[in-house]
């Protein structure tokens, strides 16, 4: 019995230590992986790392390309809207295996506490906003909590057509 308790205690301490280590036992996404898609950056630098991307057509949208980010053994899509070769905004559907708490905390660690929080039907929307950028993250909970989407929007994109609508507005309002 003593051996069983010691064994369980050691196992629990090992798991806790691993979750605090630099190489945790569960997959952790690094927000820096999204840096090439940041609003204000050049669209022509993305293909060097992520390939050419697919052209996507949406009604009342500017030019859009869809890329795939590889994380561990999974790929997930990211849509990038641009005008005159400059990125205006992006939207990504995050994999459900990402841990909501970890992803949300990484956003808080980087950008501070969110400015706006809304909860409806077990789905939360968190918004960080400053003078130039709006970041929107949504997560949901059933038995566990998981991320749904993350979008970053340039609030000062310069001269763009008046028909511009962010990808978050396109996708969230259509239920995508």
124-165 confidence digits (pLDDT tens): 999 999 999 999 999 999 888 999 999 999 988 888 888 889
For residue 71, give the 3-state DSSP assignment. Answer: strand
Q: Strand ranges (DSSP E) for 29-171?
A: 54-56, 63-71, 74-83, 86-93, 116-120, 123-129, 133-141, 145-154
What's residue 61's pLDDT?
81
Tokens standing for residue 172: 């969230």
Identify the domain containing residue 46 by its residue range.
Answer: 28-173
Q: In this prediction, what percent of the chain has a pLDDT beyond 70?
A: 81
In a domain, 132, yes or no: yes
What's residue 23's pLDDT?
54
**CB of 141 closer than 8 Å to CB of 100:** yes
Confidence check: pLDDT of 109 > 60:
yes
In a domain, 68, yes or no: yes
In a domain, 120, yes or no: yes
**CB of 88 closer than 8 Å to CB of 100:** no
Confidence check: pLDDT of 10 > 80:
no
What's residue 157's pLDDT?
82
What's residue 153's pLDDT?
95
In a domain, 167, yes or no: yes
- Name the average pLDDT for the chain: 82
What's residue 51's pLDDT?
85
In a domain, 64, yes or no: yes
Q: What is the pLDDT of residues 45-81, one digit of tens each?
A: 898 888 889 989 887 788 999 999 887 767 889 999 9
- How would DSSP label each residue in 109-137? HHH-S-SEEEEETTEEEEEEE-SSEEEEE
pTM of structure:
0.81
Domains in the chain, number: 1
In a domain, 79, yes or no: yes
In a domain, 22, yes or no: no
In a domain, 144, yes or no: yes
What's residue 65's pLDDT?
94
What's residue 18's pLDDT?
41
């Amino acid at each position: 019995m003593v051996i069983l308790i010691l064994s369980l205690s050691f196992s629990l301490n090992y798991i806790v230590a691993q979750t605090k280590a630099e190489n945790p036992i569960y997959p952790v996404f690094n927000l820096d992986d999204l840096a090439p898609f940041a609003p204000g950056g050049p669209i022509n630098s993305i293909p060097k790392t992520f390939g050419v991307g697919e052209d996507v057509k949406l009604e009342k949208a500017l030019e859009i390309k869809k890329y795939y980010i590889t994380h561990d053994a999974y790929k997930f899509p990211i849509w990038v809207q641009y005008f005159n070769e400059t990125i205006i905004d992006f939207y990504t559907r995050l994999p459900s295996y990402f841990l909501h708490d970890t992803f949300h905390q990484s956003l808080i660690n980087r950008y501070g506490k969110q400015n706006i929080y809304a909860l409806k039907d077990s789905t939360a929307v968190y918004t960080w906003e400053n003078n130039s950028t709006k970041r929107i993250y949504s997560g949901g909970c059933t038995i566990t909590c998981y991320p749904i989407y993350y979008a970053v929007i340039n609030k000062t994109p310069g001269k763009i057509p008046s028909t511009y609508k962010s990808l978050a507005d396109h996708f969230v309002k259509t239920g995508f």
